[in-house]
Amino acid sequence: MWTRIWALLDRWLFGPAAGSAGLLGQCRRLLRYPYAVVRDLARGEINLRAMSLVYTTLLSLIPLLAFSFAILKAFGGHHDLEPIVYEFFSPVGGAAATELTNRVVQFASHVSSGLV
């Protein structure tokens, strides 16, 4: 029964007629967001999406830091970025933040500034 209700709501909110103009179309577009949140909460996909967002953020952070360190190393200011990296990792915890900062700085210091 619930699957039929979810399917009906999916068709109504995201189907071809959902892009229609007028007040009904605006209501459909407005209701899509809370519906998607409730649907993902009911299916347990919110945690999966949150974990993937964290993983993607961390994966994209390391190359960005390596590039930043390489640029700053060319100008002699790469040591100024280490406190900022530590502050970013500080919510993880004291010892873990220090270890993460050291590893990121170590990784970024091995990047050749000539490649950039």
pTM for this model (two decimals): 0.45
Residues 38 and 58 in one domain: no
For residue 8, the enclosing domain spans: 2-43
User: Phi-psi region for residue 88, left (φ > 0), alpha (ψ -120 to 50) or beta?
Assistant: alpha
Report the alpha-carbon distance of residue 50 to residue 19 in Å, rounded.
28
User: What confidence tens digit (pLDDT) does each residue in 55-92 have?
Assistant: 898 888 878 877 877 787 778 776 777 888 889 888 88
Number of domains in the chain: 2
**Is the Cβ–Cβ distance between 82 and 105 less than 8 Å?**
yes
Q: How far is CA 105 from CA 28, 72, 113, in A?
A: 48, 12, 14
User: What confidence tens digit (pLDDT) does each residue in 7-18 have?
Assistant: 888 888 887 766
Residues 57 and 99 in one domain: yes
**DSSP structural state of residue 97:** H
